[in-house]
Amino acid sequence: MLERAADHGPWYVRSAAGIASAVVGGAALLVGYLAQFGTGAPVPTIGNLAILLPLFGAALIAAVVSFVRREKPIALAVAGLAMGLAAPVVGWVILVAAVAAAALLVLVVIAKFN
């Protein structure tokens, strides 16, 4: 049976792999954003996979280590994976978020006047 991560020490030692996954996933998202919008590429293009896939792989490895160690703030590992997966298509993610925000605004206005 797998033991939980050590209960002794500061929180950042107990959840080091989850923090590493979140940091690497955030770096992948930042690199994907800069590669997408820093070069002036159109929104629907996919980022440079030669850079983004190794970063996602590192986030995946850190998340698996975090899951195996049963680190308690599981959200760190899940956030790292989510950011690593969203990095190649960050333009699409921003576009969908903008459409969802506009739809939510229209729904609020309709609900307010109805």
DSSP notation for 72-104 = S-HHHHHHHHHHHHHGGGHHHHHHHHHHHHHHH
Cβ atoms 26, 6 nearer than 8 A: no
pLDDT at 99: 96
pTM of the full predicted structure?
0.78
Positive or negative: CA dihedral 78, 80, 83, 86 = negative
Report pLDDT digits (tens) over 53-79: 999 999 999 999 999 998 888 999 999
pLDDT at 5: 57
The residue type found at 108 is: V
